[in-house]
Amino acid sequence: MAYECNGTTVEADEEGYLTDISLWNPELAALIAVGENIEMGDDHWEVVNFLRDYYEEYQIAPAVRVLTKVIKKTLGADKGNSKYLYELFPYGPAKQACKIAGLPKPTGCI
Amino acid sequence: MADYETIPINTLFEIPALNPGAMKNSSPFVAAPLHQEALGFPGELVDDWQARAIEKLGELLKKSRALQVYMDSCVKCGACTDKCHYFLGTGDPKNMPVARQDLLRKIYRRYFTFAGKYFPKLVGAEDLTKEVLDDWYSYFHQCSQCRRCSVYCPYGIDTAEISMAAREIMDHIGKGQKYCNEILGKVHQIGNNLGLPEKALIHTLADLEEDIEEETGVKVRIPVNKKGADILLVTPSADFFAEPHVDGLIGYAKVFHQAGVSWTLSSYASEAANFAMFIGSYEQMKLVAERIRKAAEELGVKRIIFGECGHAWRVAYSFLNTLAGPFDFLDSDYPVPQHICEFTWDLIQKGELNLDKSKNDHMTLTFHDSCNVARGSRMGDSPGGQFKIPRAIIKACCNNFVDMAADTIGETTFCCGGGGGLLTDDLMEIRTKGASPRMQALKDVVDEHGVTHMAAICAICKSQFAKVMPSYGFDMDSVVSVHQLISNAIILDGQVQ
């Protein structure tokens, strides 16, 4: 599949993950989110931006536990849990948020 | 989210009405050329796929006497027909084990038996057509290779072996499955199924050490690549990443700490899983297994312990010595390899763990036997140890434990619905439907005995249940790791209460 964003075509795999992660931009993220029935708010962006920063450093998305800890620090204790992350990204913070952040899908027994 | 309906779980143990073709369109994504070629398979379906498939089947029949016997010995008695969780969850007759076997058997008969060559119609033999290949791809990826049907087969026909052979053939003609083959590539390239590089692994573990210290006041270490450690822990990479797996990993770390043993993980062999078994590739299975030997030798360990992973334990317990042995450099006073449950149970029996059962009083537990542990391995030194030991551990750290119905656990346990290389989003419908027999058995003990949580010792089972349980009205966090329960209950020396 592919996304049409600002007049350019961005290739993605069968599930909608970008094939070239360098082509990501915030407008594209918002477009991918629409396909996931997610309206991006500040908290969504907080997660997506953290995922991208983490990926840049470690070449993979963070473990759910690492993510919840960071969210706890930035958004407060009431939001620092996986339940809240699932409210933001109902299909799972790892997979759905990675898709919106333009990162590869985490694979394995997860 | 789901645009399909599951069979209501109060009617499950009735055999569902036949629904021919119901799951015909359930097929996983095909592996891209990149993922195929990394494993030495053709990038895409080859032009002469039919001839090459038949040739490969012939080769497998020669190599595996078991496969030949499975092809020849079915008498169509029907004992297996209602034993597969995917049949019970979908009603699709091609998910009856005998029908799944027949997808390969009819081709075997056509090209490898006298009767099938000359009188195909009389013996149910068929040409290998594109339609048959499509059915193979669809229905051999609706088998989790759990082997429940083989328990009931009077001839012991193992549908898992047949489905592995079919997937092996499909890989060799260029029609592999994306999920398994992409993952195997990551194991070779990065060291684990997740694609978790060493730097990220070290960071994640340091983070967990911080959490444990915050919780207990005790500096519990989770060492990586520590040369000269006594024990190498090989565990599924999901233990570093997902919930509730990571709580199990914390449990192992606390147990090792309290036992006072020196142990380490390896970033090179940072994965217990061996998906090569799912695709039936002996060559790949050997390559993946050899990583563990290499890590053990390089780190100079004396023992290898496996974490909570179902099929990894089958490969470790049943095949590791053949694939990567002999392990004569390890300490022969201990099992080679050992399961983390054996290690923990041994300490519990010696009274070396201080367990406060009341810490798990907010839960009533049941235990899901994982298929590959239940039917493909053993634990301890007596028959049935793989059933007794995990339960003994749970009972040692929890006051409330209830088993599910006898014909849904132990040797006849139902698969979680996500095993055998099916734990992928593109197979969510079959995964959800296939979980229904387990969900029914769980619901029964929830209703009758107030069970709140189900423990498991397999990364696939844990992820699968966390994903599909909400479809059946259970919370996603009602599946827990066995060592998570230990982690809750254990009082470490010097722990802040």
* Contact between chains at A90 and B1 (C-beta distance less than 8 A): yes
Decide if A48 contacts A32 (C-beta within 8 A): no
With H, G, I as helix, E, B as strand and everything else as coil, classify residue B272. Answer: coil
- Would you call A109 a catalytic residue per the annotation? yes
Residue B1 is predicted with a pLDDT of 45
Quote the domain boundaries for residue B59. Answer: 33-176
Residue after which a domain boundary falls, among B130, B145, B176: B176
Q: Is B200 on the interface with A (CB under 8 A)?
A: yes
Cα A10 to Cα A2: distance, rounded to the nearest angstrom: 5
Look at residues B221, B384, B264, B248 and name the one whose alpha carbon lies nearest to residue B308. B248
Structural domain count, chain B:
2
Q: What is the ipTM of this complex?
A: 0.95
% residues pLDDT > 70 (chain A): 100
Tell me the residues of A at the B interface, defined by beta carbons under 8 Å apart: 14-15, 57-60, 62-66, 69, 82, 86, 90-92, 94-95, 104, 106-110
Q: Is residue B27 part of a domain?
A: no
> Helices B385-397 & B482-489, crossing angle to 10 degrees?
30
Q: Which CATH architecture has domain A42-100?
A: Orthogonal Bundle (1.10)
Q: Is B126 on the interface with A (CB under 8 A)?
A: no
Count how many residues are written for chain B. Answer: 497
Cα B484 to Cα B456: distance, rounded to the nearest angstrom: 10
How crowded is residue B421: how many other Cβ atoms within 10 Å of its Cβ?
Answer: 26
Q: Is residue B496 part of a domain?
A: no
Cα-to-chain-centroid distance, residue B409: 16
Whether residue B299 is found in the same domain as residue B389:
yes
Interface test with B, best of A60, A86, A110 (most B CBs within 10 A): A110
The pLDDT tens digits for B443-489 are 999 999 999 999 999 999 999 999 999 999 999 999 999 999 999 99
A6: distance to nearest CA of chain B, Å?
Answer: 29
What's A26-84 look like in SS3? HHHHHHHHHHCCCCCCHHHHHHHHHHHHHHHHHCCCCCHHHHHHHHHHHHCHHHCCHHH
Residue B13 is predicted with a pLDDT of 64
Decide if B457 contacts B220 (C-beta within 8 A): no
Residue B12 is predicted with a pLDDT of 52
CB-based contacts of B471, cutoff 8 Å, min separation 6: B2, B6, B432, B435
Whether residue B146 is found in the same domain as residue B97:
yes
- CATH number of the domain encompassing residue B148: 1.10.1060
Whether residue B209 is found in the same domain as residue B307:
yes
Beta strands, E only, B160-285? 231-234, 263-264
Whether residue B140 is found in the same domain as residue B259:
no
CB-based contacts of B240, cutoff 8 Å, min separation 6: A63, B194, B196, B201, B204, B205, B246, B249, B270
B116 forms beta bridges with: none
Q: Is residue B421 part of a domain?
A: no
Cα B434 to Cα B431: distance, rounded to the nearest angstrom: 5
B367 forms beta bridges with: B455
Whether residue B138 is found in the same domain as residue B197:
no
Decide if B229 contacts B223 (C-beta within 8 A): yes
Residues of A in contact with B273 (CB under 8 A): 108-109
Pick the CATH number of A2-35 from 3.30.1420, 3.90.550, 3.40.50, 1.10.15: 3.30.1420
Residue after which a domain boundary falls, among B176, B207, B235: B176
Q: Is residue B411 part of a domain?
A: no
The pLDDT tens digits for B53-79 are 999 999 999 999 999 999 999 999 999
Could you tell me the two tokens for B199?
A: 């730097």
The one-character DSSP state at B319 is I
Residue A23 is predicted with a pLDDT of 95
Sign of the dihedral through C-alpha B247, B253, B259, B265: positive
Report residues of chain B scoring pLDDT below 50: 1
The pLDDT tens digits for A12-64 are 999 999 999 999 999 999 999 999 999 999 999 999 999 999 999 999 999 98
Decide if B74 contacts B104 (C-beta within 8 A): no
Whether residue B101 is found in the same domain as residue B234:
no
The pairing of strands B303-306 and B338-339 is parallel
* Contact between chains at A66 and B207 (C-beta distance less than 8 A): yes
Q: Is B211 on the interface with A (CB under 8 A)?
A: yes
- B239, amino acid identity: D
Cα B393 to Cα B360: distance, rounded to the nearest angstrom: 13
